[in-house]
Amino acid sequence: MMSLTKTHKSLRYLGLGLLALLILGPFILGFWTSLMPTADIAKGILISSHLSLANYVDAVQQTAILRYLVNSLVISTLTMLAQVLFCSLGAYTFVFLKFKGRDFLFYVILATMMLPFEAEVIPNFATVRFLNLLNHYAVMVIPFLTSAFGIFMLRQAFRQIPGELKEAADIEGLNHWQFYWRVALPYARISIFTLAAYSFLESWNQYLWPMLTTFSDKFRPVQDGLRQLQSQETFNNWGMIQASAVIVVIPTLLVLFVGQHYFKNGLNEGATK
C-alpha cells in the first residue's frame, strides 16, 4: 500500500473521531449529566461546574438499583449455566447418538427457532401462574433453561469433531457422558463460550417477560427496575436516573470488553465458515 500523507492521515482520524463521537455521545452525555445536580439539568444547563457523585449516592440509598443488579446477575448466571449444559447435551444427542426419530426431533427443534417468544406470552403467562412461579427468580429462568438456537449452534460445533476422536474414545471404553465431558465440551470451547455470553446478555436484556411476571423489588431484574424508577415519582430527577443507568451499563460494558476477544472469534467462526 502507498504510504499516506500527513493530511490524509489526519483526515482519516478526523472521520474516525466523528464516528466515535456519534457512538459514544449518548454514553458521554448520560455519564456527564449523572454527575450534575438535577436542578441544573432542569434549568437546561449542560455545562455545570457543580459535579459530584451525589446522584450515585442517592440512587444507591433511595432506590433498589443494587438489588435489581443482584437479581439480574442471579437470573442471567443461572440461565447461562443451564443453557450451556442443556443445549450442549441436546446438541451432543444429535451428533453422537443414534436412535429412532432423531432426525425428526431435530427438525422439530429447528422449527421452534421460528416461533417468537413475544407471540407466546399469553399462554405462557397462564402456565407460570398455574405453576405458581409468578414473582420469583424461577419465572425468569425456567422458560429459558434451554434454547433451540443454542442446540443448533453447538450441533454445528460438535460436527467439527473428527470421527477418529470418537473411534479412539470408543476403543478406550469411554461412555457418552465421559466423551461429552472430556472431549466434546473442551473441543467446542469457543462455541460454548459464545453461547454463554450470548445467553447471558439475552437474559440480561429481557424486558417484556419480567415486566409481566415480577411485581416486587425483591425479584425484579434491572431492565424493569429502571422502568420502575423512570415511571415513578423520580421521573423528573434526571441526575439520579442517569446515575442509575450508568450503574446498570458498567457491568455489561466490562463483560463485553473482557469477553470481546472470545466473542469475536466465536462469531466469526459462525459467520464465515
CB atoms within 10 A of CB 99: 7
CB of residue 86 to other proteins, shortest distance in Å: 5
d(CA 204, CA 68): 11
Interface of this chain with other proteins, residues 125 to 164, rule: CB under 8 A: 126-127, 142-143, 145-146, 148, 151, 156, 163-164
**Binding to other proteins by residue 203, rule CB under 8 A?**
no
Interface of this chain with other proteins, residues 105 to 124, rule: CB under 8 A: 105, 109-110, 112-124
**Binding to other proteins by residue 212, rule CB under 8 A?**
yes
Q: Smaller CB distance to other proteins: residue 12 or 218?
A: 12
Candidate residues 1, 6, 61, 233; the one interacting with other proteins per rule CB under 8 A? 1
**Binding to other proteins by residue 11, rule CB under 8 A?**
no
CB of residue 241 to other proteins, shortest distance in Å: 6
d(CA 246, CA 2): 43
Q: Smaller CB distance to other proteins: residue 52 or 268?
A: 268
Q: How many residues make contact with other proteins (CB under 8 A)?
A: 103
d(CA 89, CA 177): 9
CB of residue 61 to other proteins, shortest distance in Å: 19
CB of residue 84 to other proteins, shortest distance in Å: 12
Interface of this chain with other proteins, residues 30 to 49, rule: CB under 8 A: 30, 33, 41-44, 46
E-assigned strand segments in the chain:
none
CB atoms within 10 A of CB 133: 17
From 59-67, 88-96, 132-140, 186-194, span contacting other proteins (CB under 8 A): 88-96
d(CA 147, CA 87): 7
**Binding to other proteins by residue 226, rule CB under 8 A?**
yes
From 55-63, 132-140, 166-174, 183-191, span contacting other proteins (CB under 8 A): 166-174
What 3-state class would DSSP assign to 214? coil
- DSSP letter at 205 equals T
Candidate residues 11, 14, 15, 178; the one interacting with other proteins per rule CB under 8 A? 15
d(CA 107, CA 12): 49
Interface of this chain with other proteins, residues 49 to 78, rule: CB under 8 A: none
Q: How far is CA 122 from CA 109, 119, 128, in A?
A: 21, 8, 10
Locate 21 and state its grid cell. Answer: 463521537
Residue 196 makes CB contacts below 8 A (sequence gap 6+) with 80, 83, 84
Are the CB atoms for 38 and 55 separated by under 8 Å?
Answer: yes
